[in-house]
């Protein structure tokens, strides 16, 4: 389902920074609008001090690009803009150019749910300079946020060791879409259900939820509140037990669970939302087991993240279901991924690629030139062993070697015949969608398979091992030469 068309009643083509449009105008005016260009979208550092990221957001980008067309309203707004002198900011001929603009770029991308690493292009856009530049901001908006949240969800799911993890964060999310697309990305990362009903409808994600403290407060006492809830939901009740006193709440839940059993139904679970979750879950489990309710689930919520879950597991907490809110949907400890979008090459009049890079005093911020592809090498068991960023516009040498982007002394030869796959796949050809968008559960499954192919030392939270990602040696040389050339020109 094209949920962006469904969700947004308006054109999203103005969802960009003004400087994309002023540059577009400049390229159009200087006759360079149609010059062929290649841009790459990538990030420089794994989020959360982790060892990997999980790529997400491509489906939003696809819907955005399919519908890219300035509407009459968009055109009217752009025509209304004024420069510092009070004159039209843009020539009317340029406005006409935009009115007739249709997306004609090639787009390659790494499928959602793929494990990715710093410096790897997640999306490559090739086509007319004006168009390829224009879409920078929305692509970054979609990919940065959803990759961040999918990665957070993968970490949380790993900490939960197979327990059910649910996303409960709408109330603290950053706006409507900060909630909806976070839910989608969390599902990609491994979360199995959400409290977000609209995300449930839009993305076909299972929805979960029972009652709040206010439900308890609305009745004369806790026991009556539980009873009334069980009458409405005899098979799905999860009682929130901490409104007054948690363990007393568990006892009240047991009383009602007994009555439910007499009338032929079973209590599904209890939820702990405050206090010492390790102690309280262990005590609650004892009370439930002793009363003959060993199958009643214990759900925990309350500002949880992967580190707290891991700590609770270590303390032997008897929790088998986790509701994760703020920390997940805002990626609280690092609420932005610093993805960037950089020009890698421009075609000259003869159709030759001119390689481009952005210099920086820090090598880590200097971009990589070329028309980049990522090749992932695998061992005999399908485990990932190294990734190579290479220039598709040139022939590869016979003997492959990857070089660390920041440390030329770290080099890794790749044995001939090592199994491999290229990660960037065709999404648009000349503006036409050529990619079949996978269903969300398939993406979730892909994430799990990808994570399994990653050594546990790379998945761990504290000081993870660094997965080897290098530039193919001739690309590394090209980059070094270009940097030296620019420095020499100064």
The answer to whether 296 contacts a second copy (rule: CB under 8 A) is no
State CA 59 to chain mean position distance.
11
Give the position of tokens 């550092």.
45
Per-position x/- string for 297-316, each x denoting binding to a second copy as judged by CB under 8 A, each - no binding: --------------------
Q: Which of 18, 364, 406, 434 binds a second copy (CB under 8 A)?
A: 18
Q: Which of residues 44-73 bind a second copy (CB under 8 A)?
A: 73
The answer to whether 490 contacts a second copy (rule: CB under 8 A) is yes
Element (H, E) at 456: helix 456-459
Q: Which of 92, 361, 409, 436 binds a second copy (CB under 8 A)?
A: 361
Per-position x/- string for 27-46, each x denoting binding to a second copy as judged by CB under 8 A, each - no binding: x-xx-x--x-x-x-------
| Closest CB 97 distance from a second copy, rounded Å | 13
The answer to whether 390 contacts a second copy (rule: CB under 8 A) is no
Q: Going by C-beta distance under 8 Å and a sequence separation of 6 or more, which residues neighbour residue 282?
A: 316, 317, 318
DSSP string, 244-284: S-HHHHHHHHHHHHHHHHHTT----EEEE-SS-HHHHHHHH
The answer to whether 396 contacts a second copy (rule: CB under 8 A) is no
Query: How many Å is the Cα radius of gyration of the chain?
Result: 26
DSSP reduced 3-state for 43: coil
Per-position x/- string for 88-107, each x denoting binding to a second copy as judged by CB under 8 A, each - no binding: -x------------------
The answer to whether 365 contacts a second copy (rule: CB under 8 A) is yes
Q: Going by C-beta distance under 8 Å and a sequence separation of 6 or more, which residues neighbour residue 394?
A: 370, 474
| Closest CB 132 distance from a second copy, rounded Å | 9
Q: Which of residues 134-153 bind a second copy (CB under 8 A)?
A: 136-138, 140-142, 144-145
Could you give the angle at which helices 246-262 and 277-290 cross, rounded to 10 degrees?
30
**Gap between the Cα atoms of 122 and 299, Å rounded:** 36
**Beta carbons of 475 and 121 less than 8 angstroms apart:** no
| Closest CB 257 distance from a second copy, rounded Å | 15
Q: Which of residues 421-480 bind a second copy (CB under 8 A)?
A: none
**Beta carbons of 472 and 389 less than 8 angstroms apart:** yes
Element (H, E) at 380: none
**Gap between the Cα atoms of 157 and 117, Å rounded:** 19
The answer to whether 400 contacts a second copy (rule: CB under 8 A) is no
Which of residues 115 and 240 has its CB atom nearest to a second copy in the complex? 240
The answer to whether 346 contacts a second copy (rule: CB under 8 A) is yes
DSSP lists the bridge partners of residue 400 as 414
Which of residues 232 and 406 has its CB atom nearest to a second copy in the complex? 232
Q: Which of 1, 161, 258, 486 binds a second copy (CB under 8 A)?
A: 486
DSSP lists the bridge partners of residue 355 as 345
Which of residues 15 and 282 has its CB atom nearest to a second copy in the complex? 15
| Closest CB 299 distance from a second copy, rounded Å | 12
The answer to whether 332 contacts a second copy (rule: CB under 8 A) is yes
The answer to whether 331 contacts a second copy (rule: CB under 8 A) is yes
Which of residues 225 and 451 has its CB atom nearest to a second copy in the complex? 225
| Closest CB 417 distance from a second copy, rounded Å | 38
| Closest CB 26 distance from a second copy, rounded Å | 4
Give the range of 293-301, 337-345, 439-447, 449-457 binding a second copy by CB under 8 A.
337-345
State CA 60 to chain mean position distance.
11
Q: Which of residues 209-268 bind a second copy (CB under 8 A)?
A: 209-215, 217-218, 228-229, 231-233, 235-236, 243-245, 248, 268
Which backbone phi and psi does 332 adopt, to 5 degrees? -50, -40
**Beta carbons of 285 and 318 less than 8 angstroms apart:** yes
**Beta carbons of 287 and 251 less than 8 angstroms apart:** yes
Q: Which of 36, 67, 104, 174 binds a second copy (CB under 8 A)?
A: 174
Of 38, 130, 7, residue with least CA distance to 346:
38
């Amino acid at each position: 389902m094209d949920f962006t068309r469904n969700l947004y009643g308006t054109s999203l083509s103005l969802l960009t920074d003004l400087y994309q449009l002023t540059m577009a105008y400049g390229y159009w005016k200087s006759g360079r609008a149609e010059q062929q260009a290649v841009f790459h979208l990538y990030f420089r550092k794994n989020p959360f001090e982790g060892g990997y990221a999980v790529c997400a957001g491509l489906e939003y980008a696809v819907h955005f690009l399919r519908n890219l067309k300035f509407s009459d309203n968009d055109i009217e707004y752009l025509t209304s803009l004024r420069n510092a002198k009070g004159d039209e900011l843009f020539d009317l001929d340029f406005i006409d150019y935009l009115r007739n603009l249709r997306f004609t770029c090639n787009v390659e991308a790494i499928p959602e749910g793929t494990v990715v690493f710093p410096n790897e292009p997640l999306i490559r856009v090739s086509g007319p300079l004006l168009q390829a530049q224009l879409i920078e901001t929305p692509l970054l908006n979609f990919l940065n946020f959803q990759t961040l949240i999918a990665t957070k969800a993968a970490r949380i799911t790993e900490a939960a060791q197979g327990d059910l993890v649910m996303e409960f964060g709408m109330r603290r999310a950053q706006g409507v879409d900060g909630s909806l697309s976070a839910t989608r990305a969390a599902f990609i990362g491994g979360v199995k259900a959400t409290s977000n009903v609209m995300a449930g409808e839009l993305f076909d994600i299972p929805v979960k939820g029972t009652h709040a403290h206010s439900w308890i407060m609305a009745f004369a006492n806790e026991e009556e509140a539980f009873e009334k809830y069980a009458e409405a939901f005899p098979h799905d009740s999860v009682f929130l037990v901490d409104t007054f006193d948690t363990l007393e709440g568990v006892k009240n839940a047991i009383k009602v669970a007994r009555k439910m059993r007499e009338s032929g139904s079973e209590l599904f679970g209890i939820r702990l939302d405050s206090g010492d979750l390790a102690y309280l879950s262990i005590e609650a489990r004892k009370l439930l087991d002793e009363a003959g309710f060993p199958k009643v689930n214990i759900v925990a919520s309350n500002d949880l993240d992967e580190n707290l879950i891991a700590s609770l597991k270590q303390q032997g907490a008897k929790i088998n279901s986790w509701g994760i809110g703020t920390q997940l949907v805002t990626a609280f400890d690092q609420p932005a991924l610093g993805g960037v979008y950089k020009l890698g090459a421009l075609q000259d009049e003869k159709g030759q690629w001119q390689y481009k890079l952005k210099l920086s005093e820090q090598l880590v911020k200097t971009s990589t030139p070329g028309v980049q592809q990522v090749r992932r090498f695998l061992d005999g068991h399908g485990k990932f062993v190294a990734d190579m960023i290479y220039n598709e516009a040139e022939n590869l040498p016979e003997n492959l070697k990857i070089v660390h982007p920041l440390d030329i002394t770290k080099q890794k030869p790749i044995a001939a015949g090592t199994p491999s796959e290229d990660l960037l796949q065709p999404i648009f050809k000349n503006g036409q969608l050529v990619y079949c968008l996978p269903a969300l559960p398939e993406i979730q499954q892909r994430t799990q398979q990808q994570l399994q192919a990653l050594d546990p030392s790379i998945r761990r939270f504290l000081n993870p091992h660094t997965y080897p990602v290098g530039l193919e040696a001739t690309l590394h040389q090209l980059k070094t030469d270009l940097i030296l050339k620019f420095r020499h020109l100064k």
